[in-house]
């Protein structure tokens, strides 16, 4: 008599590293005109897929260059851009609604939109912004904050600068 024992393994997926995204998208979604949004099926594009699409298809970087920008490997970038392109094609061809959200990302810069005059302006996370540079109003919409980011991205960049300056100082003494 033979017994086969199967050992149960708990395979934990390797945690994804945070990917760098230049700045938050100007909009968090799109839909076909003339159709009410609640009637449409939704395609969700993650923030890192959005960035891959922006770098490769809007700016025109190679996969290698775009992967370096996002601080990920080229194979990971290639899979990501393929998923993003499939989703964008699906929403255009099938007339679906697009939502941009989620993903393990840190924004490098932020964008604010003034609720009073509509002016949009870019800032770094090191800058403290309280008023619109165009009209002086204090009613500002923080686009990174709308995606649940802001403080974490600023802390990430402060940590990276500190780590890189230590590395540079260490290497300069060798």
| More confident position, 161 or 152 | 152
Q: Is 13 exposed, middle or buried (0-12, 13-18, 19+ CB in 10 A)?
A: exposed
Task: Note whether 125 and 64 are same-domain residues.
Answer: no
Q: What is the pLDDT of residues 91-148, one digit of tens each?
A: 999 999 999 998 888 888 999 999 999 999 999 888 889 999 999 999 999 888 877 6
Q: Is residue 11 part of a domain?
A: no
Residue 72 CB contacts under 8 Å (≥ 6 apart), including other chains: 17, 19, 80
* Averaged pLDDT for residues 33-46: 94
Quote the domain boundaries for residue 142: 108-174
Of 83, 107, 131, which residue is a domain's last? Answer: 107
Q: What is the pLDDT of residues 45-70, one digit of tens each?
A: 999 999 999 999 999 999 999 999 99
Task: Note whether 91 and 24 are same-domain residues.
Answer: yes
Q: What is the CATH number of the domain that holds 96?
A: 1.10.10
Task: Note whether 120 and 93 are same-domain residues.
Answer: no
Average pLDDT score, the chain: 83
Q: Are strands 120-124 and 140-142 parallel, antiparallel or unpaired?
A: unpaired
Q: Is residue 7 part of a domain?
A: no
Task: Note whether 25 and 50 are same-domain residues.
Answer: yes
Task: Note whether 92 and 120 are same-domain residues.
Answer: no
- Report the domain count for the chain: 2
The pLDDT value recorded for residue 44 is 97
């Amino acid at each position: 008599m033979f017994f086969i024992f199967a050992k149960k393994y708990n395979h934990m997926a390797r945690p994804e590293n945070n990917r760098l995204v230049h700045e938050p998208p100007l909009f968090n979604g799109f839909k076909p005109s003339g159709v009410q949004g609640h009637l449409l099926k939704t395609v969700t594009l993650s923030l890192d897929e959005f960035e891959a699409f922006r770098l490769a298809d809007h700016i025109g970087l190679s996969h290698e260059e775009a992967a370096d920008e996002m601080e990920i490997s080229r194979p990971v970038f290639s899979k990501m851009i393929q998923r993003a392109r499939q989703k964008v094609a699906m929403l255009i061809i099938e007339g679906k609604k697009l939502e941009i959200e989620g993903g393990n990302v840190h924004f490098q810069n932020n964008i604010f939109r003034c609720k009073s005059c509509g002016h949009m302006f870019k800032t770094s996370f090191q800058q403290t912004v309280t008023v619109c540079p165009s009209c002086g109003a204090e009613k500002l919409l923080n686009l990174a904050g709308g995606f649940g980011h802001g403080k974490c991205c600023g802390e990430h960049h402060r940590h990276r600068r500190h780590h890189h300056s230590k590395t540079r100082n260490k290497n300069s003494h060798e």
